[in-house]
Amino acid sequence: MEASRRVLFVCVENSFRSQIAEAYFNAYAPEGWAAVSAGIKPSESVHPNAVKLMLEEGIDISGKKPRLLDRELQEQADLAVIVCSGSQCPVVYAKKVLEWNIPDPAGMPLEEARKIRDEIKRRVLELVEFIKRRESRDK
């Protein structure tokens, strides 16, 4: 079934946090929902530690390619989640925007980056539950 609702995860390079968030959301997405991710300065490839950490979870993101945040992605999003923290984070124009302020794990040792991955998973699962509760209430 084609997803009719979309979550957009956004950070700067779209190589770590937003890729992980997208992968988790799509793994646990409520029916009719899907996630995409993008960044304002996309890097060449997904960070190798992001790939490694997600493989530990049984999710392969090695084939993903960072993409540029454009107007169309923002307009199509029912919800946008800014996962980065700090002044480099983009401003996002979507129907609803959440800010998670997650530190950049790119320069961290794998152990520290794993904690960031786990925090992203926790927040994504909370978001999925929130969407499910809201949709069951609205039926």
Query: What positions carry a catalytic annotation?
Result: 11, 84, 89
Query: Which amino acid is present at 12?
Result: V
For residue 3, give the DSSP letter.
-
Query: Which amino acid is present at 14?
Result: N
Which whole-number Å values give the CA distances from 101 to 33, 47, 89, in the listed order? 23, 19, 9
Q: How far apart are CA 97 and CA 117, in angstroms?
A: 21
Q: How far apart are CA 61 and CA 47, in angstroms?
A: 10
CB atoms inside a 10 Å sphere around CB 97: 16
Measured in whole angstroms, the distance separating CA 73 from the mean position of its chain's CA atoms is: 13
